[in-house]
Amino acid sequence: MTDQSDQLLPTTRRALLHHIAVAQSEGRTPSLVAGVVRDGRPVWSGARSMVDGHAPDLNVQYRIGSLTKTFVAVLVLRLRDEGLVDLADPLGRHLPGTPADDVTVAQLLAHSGGLAAETPGPWWERTDGALRPDLGDLLDAEHPLKHPAGRRHHYSNPGYALLGALVEQLRGEPWGEVLRREVLAPLGMDRTTLLPEHPHAGGFAVHPWADVMLPEPLTDTGRMGPAGQLWSTGADLARWAAFLAAGDDRVLSAGTIAEMSRPAVGPDNADWTSGYGLGLQLRRDEGRLLYGHSGSMPGFTAGLWVSAEDGLAAFALSNATNGLSTATLAAQLIGITAAHEPRLPAPWRPLAAVDQELLALTGPWFWGAAPNVLRLRADGVLELAPQAGGHRGSRFRPEPDGTWLGLDNYHAGETLRVVRHPDGAVSHLDVGSFVYTREPYGPAGTVPGAVPGGVDPEGWRAY
C-alpha cells in the first residue's frame, strides 16, 4: 500500500484508500494502482495487491488498452493544427486503398464512420499482429460499414488502426516513434511504451466462480496497436491527466483539447450518460461531466477521467481482465475528492489595466426588447448574456481586426462588431446579424435602418 501525498486532508486520503481497498477486494483483481491529480499536480496515489506487504508503485507498467486512442487522437489533431490534414478530409485523400476511403478523419476520431467494431478473423486482442500484416486485413473489404457514415456513434477499433496508419503516412515513420518524439518526450512520459519494460505487471483472468487465476497472453498486436497497444505507469498517467486537463503548447493547445472533449455525435437519448468527442470519451457521473477514456486488453483494465469544473483528474489501473471496472473507480475517486475538498474559487481581483473604450461598452444592451448585459472580463474578453440568464450568453475574445470572436454557447464562432457613426460614436452591436441597441428597439442614436425590419415611427405607446 502506498500513500505518497500530504497535500490532501487526512480524511480525504483515508476515504480514497478505503475505496480502492474495497475495489481490489470485491473486484478480485491481483493488483490495483490509482491516483488523483488536482490543478495539474499529483496529490494522492494508492495501491493494493494480493501479495501481503507488497503493492505496485507508480513506476510499474500496466497495459492501458484503449486509453491508447487518446494518444493517437492527439497525434492526428497535431497534424490538423499544422495544416497537413483537415478533419473533413476523406481518409482516401491521404491513405488511399483501404476499405474506409470515404470515411472522414473526423468520423474516424469520433467512431462515427460506421465501420465494424472489430477485425475479421481471430480476436485481435489475443492474437499476434502478424496475422494482420496489411491495412486491408483490418476490415472486411466487401462489407466494412455497419452503419451509414456520420449518422451514429459505433465504436471501431480498426478505425483507430487506420488513424495510426494515417500518422505514419504523413510523418513518414512508425506511429510509435512519432508518439515518443512529439508527445511522450516533451511531457516526460518515458515509461509509456509499445511493449512492456521491467518492472511491469503480468495480466490475468480471474475465474468468475472460484478464486483462481489464468495468465493472459502479452501480445504485440501489430497494425492494430493504435487501438490499444500502449503500456504505461501511474506516474506517466498523472502527467497525461494533467495534459488533458490544461493542454501544453509543446504538444497541443488547450483550445484543441477543449475541441476534443466536446460531443462529436448526438446522443442516442435525452438521458445520455456517455458520449464521444474526438478521441475522448465523455461521461456523466453524479452531476459532473467527465472526459477521458477507459481501456481494456486481456489481463488489464484502465480508466482515466478529467473533471474540468472540479480541477480534478483520476486514474486507475488493474491487471485482471474482468471483475473490476477501473473506469468507474477513477470516476468515483474524483467524486470522493470533490466531496471532501470542493474546489475553492479563485479570489476576485480587479483588472490590472482597463481600456476606457471597452469600459464604455459595458452595461445594458437590448436585443429587440430583451435586456442583455455586456461585461468586461480579464484579457479584454467581453461577456454578453441575457439579464435573466439562458443559453444565449457567450464570451467574446478580441481579434486583431477590432472585432470579437464568440468562444462558447449560442454565439460560439460568431463575430461581434461594434458599429459606429461616422463621428466614431457607438451606434449598436452586431453579433451575426443580431442587433443590440442601448434602448429596447431603440432607434435613438443608432444608424438608420440598423434594427432589421425598422421601428414603428410612433415608438412605444399604450393600448
Q: How far is CA 8 from the centre of its chain?
A: 26
How many other CB atoms sit within 10 Å of the CB of residue 343? 14
The residue among 282, 280, 317, 329 whose CA lies nearest residue 65 is: 317
Residue 181 has pLDDT above 50, yes or no: yes
User: Which pLDDT belongs to residue 53?
Assistant: 82
Residue range 69-98: average pLDDT?
A: 97
Least confident stretch, 304-318, 402-416, 435-449: 435-449
Report the range out of 252-266, 385-399, 439-453 with the highest average pLDDT.
Answer: 252-266
Least confident stretch, 21-25, 379-383, 388-392: 388-392
User: Which pLDDT belongs to residue 270?
Assistant: 65
Q: Quick one: pLDDT band at residue 6, thresholds 50, 70, 90?
A: low
User: Which pLDDT belongs to residue 269?
Assistant: 64
Which long-range CB contacts under 8 A does 433-437 form with residues at least 24 apart? Answer: 434/367, 435/367, 436/365, 436/366, 436/367, 436/372, 436/374, 436/384, 437/365, 437/366
User: Which pLDDT belongs to residue 150?
Assistant: 87
For the stretch 346-359, pLDDT in tens is: 899 999 899 999 99
Q: Quick one: pLDDT band at residue 15, thresholds 50, 70, 90?
A: very high
For the stretch 227-284, pLDDT in tens is: 999 999 999 999 999 999 999 999 999 999 999 999 998 776 667 788 999 999 999 9
Q: How far is CA 122 from the centre of its chain?
A: 32
Least confident stretch, 49-63, 320-334, 436-450: 436-450
**Do the beta carbons of residue 62 and residue 300 sit within 8 Å?**
yes
Average pLDDT, the chain: 93
User: Which pLDDT belongs to residue 458?
Assistant: 84
State percent of the chain over pLDDT 70: 98
| Cis peptide upstream of residue 215 (ω within 30 degrees of 0) | no
Least confident stretch, 116-120, 168-172, 374-378, 454-458: 454-458
Residue range 178-187: average pLDDT?
A: 98
Residue type, 231: W
Q: Going by C-beta distance under 8 Å and a sequence separation of 6 or more, which residues neighbour residue 79?
A: 85, 166, 167, 170, 171
The model's pTM = 0.90
State percent of the chain over pLDDT 90: 79
Residue range 421-430: average pLDDT?
A: 92
User: Which pLDDT belongs to residue 268?
Assistant: 64
Least confident stretch, 54-63, 194-203, 438-447: 438-447
Residue range 204-211: average pLDDT?
A: 96
